[in-house]
Structure 1
């Protein structure tokens, strides 16, 4: 495998109104971890989708070991030994099948014919052996629909390494993983590297790139702007190459004016993990909900928004007890929720930017006889596109064609139309580059300045420290500590996040 160098030469591809890649040349070596990075919309994921066979209308050439490949569909790429693990794990798994069936899906489909039997015991045995390589003890008999995000990621990784894999593309692989799970993943990457597998590692987390990667290719606006060994670049220089400018202070200056309590929770529990939670948030305040992956942050956010059934507790909005039985009731009472899984829960992917931006408050664009005012919709969507810096050819562009950072801005922007009073952000910077992160931080600070109350749930403790006024630390579904952010640091938050008392 030592000579199986992967080469992509002069790759170009266009979508309606957008030239996503412009004569991009990319090379990866076996037995090496190659970082592919860039700001949202730079073209890195598009380049890898070309390699994975997701797009067939590109120009340019792809070589593996000196042999030209003809890649027009995913099976072409897989047969050549190229596997990809996408960031959006749900799109790549079949929720109604078991873990084993999902891991061994390709082999089962290839080896089963109309008159052949599937040996399910062998399927489960093989799947378990792949999970064992990842130091994962997920039961192969569980349905994928019952898994957490982190567990789904592990299933996809197990599927990828179950084949004759020469190059493994990992698109934001650590986004849903805890620190401990990330360490396990890195040990697997190192093992695969020793076995001669080439790893293409897409991530916005610069410290991870510095830790695990050997070489780096940086993209901007559909072109390669820098190739080098990771050891030759500092974190600051990597960011500057990504953005094309020096990075300003990441977190905006805040001079909060704290007002009345807008939301108060007493003894809230749900039917999964949230247990006896007490918390509150005031107008103009950004309150952090800190915790590691699996601590219950998402479940708490959904319980607040009426997207899960609470078993006990009360929720008071502006002093009045409200039974938030559904998201509809939550929105009626001035709540907005930006979920962690934006593609699955926060957006209508096949619809336009305009449709998504106005979807949370169609009443504002309804004329007499319940007709929608198309002109008002277009004007408002264009205003939000400009205000939020959403990179899109037009308001009519389908959301699924945009980058992760731009999709996140749309997921947030649709709630600006509703003029909510209380905003709940769940991991809003997941899969978002450093430039788009600052845009999101500025937006949250602006909302707080306008007197909005903000819950900011994140496992990125640096963001909790840099952005919030107060913080509740969650561990195993319980609030273990309430702290003033000015009086704490990442080390203390990590201590309480891991069960410290």
Structure 2
């Protein structure tokens, strides 16, 4: 098959106070799987958005088969067969439309204005075929708002592949997927490369996946490309990380010693009214970091949201320092000094259209008020303190959070609750889409929260993180607690044994 090339020449782009790309030369051709890697804020997503037509204010040239093309809007990119699937899946889906309508969304929009009836039978048939190419069995009549994160991701990938596609850009595609779903995605990716000659570009922080699936990788740092290299049997994760950070990196995240006190936060026989959490009992001591382990869909997020009042509980009790809490909504949780840093930070954790200052003060605005007026000087000063102490990379506390990298958005979400001075901190997949450098900083921050005598709940699918940062953990499956494990005495094998639903005692 003939190769089609896509690339950039001397491409630069600036946002307010930030030079996101600086004279970038990049090239990829069809029939290859290529990773673009770098720390948060390195410029990788910005570069991909230029290729997808979503960053029209670039300077320099975009080249398609060696010819200069203007990619100043997504429609221009799609005409050349350039499709992108973004990390924040809920931003790209319409929850009140069916799976079929979301998969075929681009075709439906293109046909709008033509005076014709919508052939829903054909839409459902074409959507089923697109999903079948991914080997995914989802009822195309379901509303997208009822799907899991993993299913939503697959719907978006099906939408991209369903259209004429030469270059498929995937932004953190495996972040919401289980190991099984990730393997399915990799099978599809290999199929698209080998039989349809599509180029796949991965933006990812999961280095082991890069070594497993990609032919080559590009490393970006500070808006520039520092290296493009084929992947061989000699390529190591440490080699890639060192290039990303520009320095040698210690791979482990040692648990910092925290003084653990008395039992403080207790959940007993908790049930969620739709059955997503089933008879869960657990406790956290002061200064303790307790993990919630389990595969995607195990109920970790649902448990976190039920505790926080997002989901309604149908039974059970929640007690803090001996006092039973009545939590009917998130406002009640905040009043009782409970914080939740959610998995979907752009949708639920921060207000991306607002400034760093506004976000950090949002959970405790009353502390900055005189009578009915907000003291802007106090809020800005408090924001500056957290920007400095958490090393949040922003040109100003007046910067809109939308312009920050993923890792720095996560730090803003954490800073909001630090400013509110809570007793219980719940972290749901806090390092999702975060580079290894920012991950290290977040781990240190969580350890500091525990050292101050607070209770910490840490929910993640990443078993290596649980083994690094927690004192104890509860393993979940299908909304239930399968086992309570002491971190220092457990292994990844034991965690997976219970995470897959086994009720038998682990033999070791």
Asked if 1:206 corresponds to 2:210, the answer is no
Query: How far, CA to CA, are the matches of 1:438 and 1:173 in structure 2?
Result: 22
Query: How far, CA to CA, are the matches of 2:255 and 2:71 in structure 1?
Result: 49
TM-score, reference length from structure 2? 0.97
Return 5+ residue gaps in structure 1 as ranges.
none
Listed as ranges, the matches of 1:83-94 within 5 Å are 83-94=83-94
TM-score, reference length from structure 1? 0.98
Which residue matches 1:376?
378
Query: How far, CA to CA, are the matches of 2:332 and 2:111 in structure 1?
Result: 50
Listed as ranges, the matches of 1:131-170 within 5 Å are 131-170=131-170
Cα offset, 1:249, TM superposition: 4.9
Query: How far, CA to CA, are the matches of 1:258 and 1:62 in structure 2?
Result: 56
Which residue matches 1:481?
483
Query: How far, CA to CA, are the matches of 2:229 and 2:163 in structure 1?
Result: 30
**More divergent stretch after superposition (376-385 vs 66-75):** 66-75
Query: How far, CA to CA, are the matches of 1:251 and 1:114 in structure 2?
Result: 58
Q: CA RMSD in A?
A: 1.0
Which residue matches 1:469?
471
Which residue matches 1:235?
237
Which residue matches 1:33?
33
Query: How far, CA to CA, are the matches of 2:217 and 2:197 in structure 1?
Result: 18
SS of equivalent residue, structure 1 residue 269: strand
Asked if 1:299 corresponds to 2:302, the answer is yes
Answer whether contact 1:314 1:321 (CA < 8 A) is retained: yes
Q: What do residues 264-302 of structure 1 show as CA deviations (whole Å, max 9, x unaligned)?
A: 011001023100000000100000000100000000000
Cα offset, 1:248, TM superposition: 2.5
Q: What do residues 403-457 of structure 1 show as CA deviations (whole Å, max 9, x unaligned)?
A: 1000000001111111101100000000000000000000011111111110000
Query: How far, CA to CA, are the matches of 2:477 and 2:449 in structure 1?
Result: 28
Query: How far, CA to CA, are the matches of 1:268 and 1:187 in structure 2?
Result: 39
Which residue matches 2:285?
282
Which residue matches 1:325?
328
Query: How far, CA to CA, are the matches of 1:498 and 1:226 in structure 2?
Result: 40
Listed as ranges, the matches of 1:393-432 within 5 Å are 393-432=395-434
SS of equivalent residue, structure 2 residue 367: helix
Cα offset, 1:463, TM superposition: 0.4
Listed as ranges, the matches of 1:61-100 within 5 Å are 61-100=61-100
Return 5+ residue gaps in structure 2 as ranges.
504-508
Which residue matches 1:221?
222
Answer whether contact 1:112 1:118 (CA < 8 A) is retained: no
Cα offset, 1:93, TM superposition: 0.9
Query: How far, CA to CA, are the matches of 1:115 and 1:444 in structure 2?
Result: 57
Cα offset, 1:66, TM superposition: 2.3
Query: How far, CA to CA, are the matches of 2:338 and 2:108 in structure 1?
Result: 46
Which residue matches 1:262?
264
Cα offset, 1:115, TM superposition: 1.9
Q: What do residues 329-381 of structure 1 show as CA deviations (whole Å, max 9, x unaligned)?
A: 111111110000000001111000111011111122112x2211111111110
SS of equivalent residue, structure 1 residue 41: coil
Query: How far, CA to CA, are the matches of 1:405 and 1:250 in structure 2?
Result: 19
**More divergent stretch after superposition (242-251 vs 74-83):** 242-251
Cα offset, 1:469, TM superposition: 0.3
Query: How far, CA to CA, are the matches of 1:256 and 1:110 in structure 2?
Result: 58
Answer whether contact 1:472 1:479 (CA < 8 A) is retained: yes
Which residue matches 1:174?
174
SS of equivalent residue, structure 1 residue 27: strand
